Amino acid sequence: MPRNLPVARISELSPGQRKLVFIDGRSVALFNIEGALHAIDNSCPHNGASLAGGQLNGTVLQCPAHGLRFDLATGCMPAGAGLCLKTFPVHVIEEDIVLELPDMA
């Protein structure tokens, strides 16, 4: 059963901003793209490089290590082929940004 964990206040993540948070030993990158929140595992599935500082073009994030591109809306590479990121459902509850994480038990 998934767990909902508050990770930040909505005031900390205005449109166009990103934030790195650490939960349960994992690094998660949060993005606010024109008011839509996205949460991804901060590890590129190709080689484990940090994605938080990657170049963003709309919802497409480019890995700074090798240039692979991932659509934050789907977690997958554009064109539907190749690798996919681990994404997490993200909600705003009152003023909190809340991630829905899988139960690790």
> Residue 59 has what pLDDT?
94
> Residue 30 has what pLDDT?
97
Main-chain dihedrals φ then ψ at residue 58, nearest 5 degrees:
65, -125
Predicted confidence band at 104 (pLDDT cuts at 50, 70, 90)?
Answer: low
The tens digit of pLDDT for each residue in 12-70 reads 999 999 999 998 888 999 999 999 999 999 999 988 899 999 999 999 999 999 899 99
> Residue 79 has what pLDDT?
77
**What residues make up the domain containing 12?**
3-101
Query: 1 CB contacts (<8 Å, ≥6 apart)?
Result: 103
> Residue 71 has what pLDDT?
95
Predicted confidence band at 102 (pLDDT cuts at 50, 70, 90)?
Answer: confident
Cβ distance 34 to 15 under 8 Å? yes
Split into its structural domains, the chain has a count of 1
The CATH number given to whatever domain includes residue 19 is: 2.102.10.10
Total-model pTM: 0.91
